[in-house]
Structure 1
Amino acid sequence: MSNAAPVPERIVVVGFGPVAARLIEHLEPFVAAGCVALTVIGQEQDAAYNRVLVADVAVGRTRESAIRLADAAALIAAGVDVRLGARAARVDRPFRRVLLDDGQAIGYDRLVLATGSRPLLPRLEGLHDELLLPPGVSFLRDLSDARAVSAALAARQRIVVLGGGILGIEAALAAAEEGGRVTLVHNGRAPMERFLGEGSRVLAAALTRAGITVVAGTSTGITLTDGRFSGLTLEGGTQVNGGALVLACGVRPRTELADGCDLPTAAGILVDHELRALDTQDIWAIGDCAEVRCWDGSCPACIGVTTPQGLIGPGWQQADQLGRAFAADLSGVPAAVVGLPDRRDAVLVLKARGVDAVTAGETDADPWTVEPGLAVAVWTDPGHGRYAKMVTRDGVLTGLVCVGMPRTGAELVLLFERGSELPADRSSLLRLDSIEGAGAARTPGPDATLCRCAGITRGTVQESVHSGCATVQDVSVGTRAGTGCGGCHDEIRAVIEQHFAVAS
């Protein structure tokens, strides 16, 4: 009878971003117990950090250390094989191994692809390779990009941001707030027109008041002086001069490894409701690279839009789901049958000081559309930078746009996430942002979600503060609230201030 210790199961995770870091947390106890040999392959030289807050690092508002989500040295000390600066070149499915570009081969029993997404390179004359950008041109995706933008700010160069989405706008606002000279270039009539509709013009005016030069036009190429970026050329020949160009033109899921080993892909790597790659037994995908769409054509959850949402919250939920499933399997304890979280409509929040916008749900409906049960209310006050749109079906809020009205926006988001009916007098909600109505907004109860990214309730944050957490960072460490997009930091501060105001 053999007394040999059982051979640990080999789990390989390709990608070391926020979603992979969350999965690793679930696997660490099994590494410590000796039943899992875990290898993590990260293409960057840095361990996992919060990409959503890279712009804050770029402008000096946040330190790099404050956005880190994993400690490579600590993981190595705990027995995890961490490979930083390593690139997975190919997955050899027949032999169950990942081949690195340096020729090494890493065998696996279970493979998890957490490769995330990559920034889109716009079609511009002078830009041909996302890996070989000219000096002065960068994305704003990783810490090396943040350092490049930080250097441009320090040199007092004009920064040109190309892209009128949330990422581009937040980057432009952050740089302007820290004293930078910024030009934002976008397509369409106004930034975020696709999401905000007419409210985008109100937002454009707010950006101008914030000191940002807003330029509408189609970009055609870049100008280099002595090999370095010096200007952006628009259709018609208009030149936008600057010393640095930040590309914020969207992202796409990274599916190269899956494509190279014949895994089914669409917008992302196709996975079933257990996050297992279709037609496989030993490969899973989570996060921005994963598209949940099973083979059952009648599955209600897989009808409609299934593309990855590109948000950190759903990725963390997937990491938790897979981590719990792996843990149950490794420990031999049957896991409760839990399906994927419902694919909720994304609530898009513009996070900036003094400029706020939020949108969610169906927002294309026209106020004059005649359709049973549909009602659309729109209020515009461009002189004061305010806009609100509420779309309801049978009285229930199904879509919203709110610009320049933070209290009204917060109340509408609360009603939207609860699937609540709006009051018969829609104008009552608008009064929340008036001087008279400033204190009239409902205080969310303890069961209300405070941090949408991590799924943390207000009650959990309150308990954390009651137990002694006195800063946003303390609360984040103890509860994970605020570790995602950062949009709830002000709410966490408000809970802290309220607690200590009462305590004093």
Structure 2
Amino acid sequence: MRDSSAAGPERIVIVGFGPVAARLLEHLEPLVTAGSAAVTVLGQEPEPAYNRVLVADVAVGRTPVTAVRLADAAALAARGIDVRLGARVARVDRPFRRVLLDDGRAVDYDRLVLATGSRPVLPRLTGLGAGSLPAGVTFLRDLADARALSAAMAAEQHIVVLGGGILGIEAALAAAEEGARVTLVHTGRAPLERILGDGARVLGAALARTGITVVGGVSTGVTLTRGRFSGLSLEGGTTIEGGALVLACGVRPRTELADACDLNTAAGILVDHDLRALDTLDIWAIGDCAEVRCWEPSCDACAGNTAPQGLIGPGWQQADQLGLAFAAELTNEPVSAACPPDRREALLLLKARGVDAVTAGETDADPWSVEPGLAVAVWTDPGHGRYAKMVTRDGVLTGLVCVGMPRTGAELVLLFERGDELPADRSSLLRLDSVDGGAPAVPPGPDTTLCRCAGITRGTVEDAVHAGCASVREVSAATRAGTGCGGCHDEVRALIEQHYAVAAAS
């Protein structure tokens, strides 16, 4: 950072313009208005920040591009923020505090924030080089990918999705729900086997019932016909013919800029608990590219796996933390800085029409273990596509897997996040998805987290609805609820319908 006696606003440069950077800008706008900061944001894409989680929905035409946008470049520019789209950063010149662009221009900084996110993993397949992808092969990471998949569906091509994780499954489901012929290729016995265990086989059967062809095997290469994708080869000689290949093989934090300027990196860019890059005074990192791991050997939070979780919620929390910290440092007004977010157990949620799964906490516990205090209850109904696993320690829920049972899954998540004990009769929770439903074991209150991505409570959403919000989009604009994975949209919609039904009846 510059000397405190230097004149003029503090120059803050943000590299990357994704959802996390957009959230940080919300905190920096008042500093720009007050003249305390001059902010430049460098986005590599021609589009301002948008919700990448919903790219598959955009690709199949279910969600318009306008509904996933998280920032308005023109509005930000009108407020004094220098927004540069299509700006590719060549390198960071740390000694001279400059960001060098590939067109030869340079942007000076006093504070540099790296919000470079993550990049999709390119599998090692014969026919796929390290350069540009051949025609008909795409990731599903950005809006350009969405347009490529949309064109393939319009041409009624057979879509092959490689990758049995959440992204691959959701892409396959979205395409299949819109009438496309889809084959999902995964490794192992079933998609998501590593985290769902035996529940993955129930999920695989549910995917097959939607019309998706589910194929297990190790991919070896792609077949190109006149330079365009025409088939995916598997070990053993099998070839899956298709007109488009969607690569959904995971993501890795983008650390190229950090590596090139000698910042400390591991899985991500190493930062301390203030999100400052280790051994620096003027560089921070947030979001998918940031790995919180301090140098203190006695720090319990940094003793385990510190790799970025790849979830939007923690990134938004980091943006809040850093934005409030900058505000506290650059203004004379007292600002209470946000506490560093806890590294919570990841909650993975898959929701689609007729297919749902949720998992959290420790899920690999053995039902037959004799470990003191540990109890594992498992229930399987493959014929109806249902599976539930509940792991407790001294009665408290510490892990869960739930497939094909949305109400039970929602209740288990509520109990898990509250750290509550399960009822002595675990089977009572299964009745929530019976024909007559049953009552929730713990009625959700106003303090219950409704949107886990943005950390918005049920009460906040109810207040917005009572104030006049009449659609999910209006609630999202007022509260941020529903701007992440979209898994809470149904619950937000239900609160809106319930409110207006009561109002109409009164």
Q: What residue number does 1:392 align with?
A: 392
Q: Is the 8 A contact 2:325 2:338 kept in 1?
A: no
Distance 1:307 1:5, change over 3 A: closer
User: 2:47: which partner in 1?
Assistant: 46
Per the TM alignment, residue 105 of structure 1 is displaced from its structure 2 partner at its CA by 1.1
**CA apart distance, 1:436:** 2.7
SS at match of 2:411: helix
Residue in 2 that maps onto 1:464:
464
Structure 1 residue matching 2:352: 3-state secondary structure? coil
Q: Which residue of 2 aligns with 1:236?
A: 236
Q: After TM superposition, give the deviation of residue 261 of structure 1 in Å.
A: 0.8
| Aligned counterparts, 1:93-492, within 5 A | 93-129=94-130, 131-336=131-336, 338-440=338-440, 442-492=442-492
> Percent same amino acid at aligned positions?
80
Distance 2:421 2:352 in 1: 29
Compare 137-146 and 329-338 and name the one that shifted more.
329-338
Unaligned runs of at least 5 residues, structure 1: none
Matches of 2:314 and 2:281 in 1, distance apart? 23
Query: Which amino acid in structure 1 is aligned with residue 83 of structure 2?
Result: V
Inter-partner Cα distance in structure 2 for 1:68 and 1:119 = 21
C-alpha deviation, 1:171, in angstroms: 0.5
Judge conservation of contact 1:113–1:285 (CA < 8 Å) in 2.
yes
Task: Work out the CA distance in 2 between the residues paired with 1:394 and 1:269.
Answer: 38
Distance between the aligned counterparts of 1:173 and 1:222, measured in 2? 23
Q: CA deviation at 1:334?
A: 4.6
Per-residue deviation at 1:31? 1.4
Q: Is the 8 A contact 1:6 1:35 kept in 2?
A: no
* TM-score, length basis structure 1: 0.98
Question: Residues of 2 paired with 1:479 and 1:336: CA distance?
Answer: 21
Shift of 1:6: 4.0
- Partners of 2:157 and 2:243 within 8 A in 1: yes
- The 1-side partners of 2:6 and 2:339 are apart by 35
Aligned partners of 1:49 and 1:70 also within 8 Å: yes
Q: Provide the rounded CA distance (Å) in 2 between the counterparts of 1:108 and 1:140.
A: 33
Amino acid at match of 2:75: A
Q: Post-superposition shift, 1:333?
A: 3.5
- Please report the TM-score for the alignment, with normalisation by the length of structure 2: 0.97
In structure 2, give the amino acid aligned to 1:198.
D
Alignment partners' CA distance in 2, 1:440 and 1:80:
48
Secondary structure class of the residue paired with 2:55: helix
Alpha-carbon offset, residue 223 of structure 1: 0.4
Q: Deviations over 1:40-92 (max 9, x none)?
A: 11110110000000000000000011100111111122221111111111111
Question: What is the deviation of 1:437?
Answer: 3.0
State how far apart, in whole Å, the 1-side matches of 2:433 and 2:97 are.
59
Aligned-residue offset at 1:179: 0.7
SS of match in other structure, 2:129: coil
- The structural deviation recorded for 1:182 is 0.4
CA distance in 1, matches of 2:180, 2:217: 22
The 5 Å alignment of 1:87-98 reads 87-98=88-99
Contact 1:445 1:459 in 2 (8 A): yes
How far off its partner does 1:441 sit?
Answer: 5.5
Aligned 8 A contact 1:407 1:441 in 2: no
Per the TM alignment, residue 503 of structure 1 is displaced from its structure 2 partner at its CA by: 1.3
* CA distance in 2: counterparts of 1:5 and 1:303, whole angstroms: 40
Quote the residue 2:36 is aligned against.
Answer: 35
Partner SS for 2:446: coil
Residues 218-263 of structure 1: CA distance to partner in whole angstroms, max 9, x if unpaired? 0000001111000000011100011000000000000011111111
- 8 Å CA contact retained: 1:273, 1:339: no
CA distance in 2, matches of 1:375, 1:79: 57
**In the aligned structure 1, how far is the partner of 2:107 from the partner of 2:79?**
19
Letter matched to residue 375 of structure 1: A
Deviates more, 1:255-264 or 1:332-341: 332-341
Distance 2:68 2:146 in 1: 12
Shift of the alpha carbon at 1:435?
1.3
Alignment partners' CA distance in 2, 1:201 and 1:337: 46
Q: State yes or no: 1:68 paired with 2:50.
A: no
SS of equivalent residue, structure 1 residue 502: helix
The code of the aligned residue for 1:44 comes to E
**CA distances 1:452-488 after superposition (whole Å, capped 9, x unpaired):** 0100000000000001111000100000000011000
- Mean alpha-carbon deviation: is it higher for 295-304 or for 204-213? 295-304
**Deviation of the 1:339 alpha carbon:** 3.3
SS in 2 for 1:320: helix
Deviations, residues 251-298 of structure 1 (Å, cap 9, x unaligned): 000001111111111100000110000000000000000000100011
CA distance in 2, matches of 1:335, 1:475: 27
Question: Conserved in 1, the CA contact under 8 Å of 2:324 and 2:338?
Answer: no
For 1:416, the aligned partner's letter is: F
Q: 1:402 and 1:53, CA in 2 relative to 1: closer, same or farther beyond 3 A?
A: same
Listed one character per residue, the Cα deviations across residues 415-463 of structure 1 (whole Å, up to 9, x for unaligned) are: 0001111111111111111113344464310000000010000000000
CA RMSD of aligned residues (A): 1.3
Letter matched to residue 179 of structure 1: G
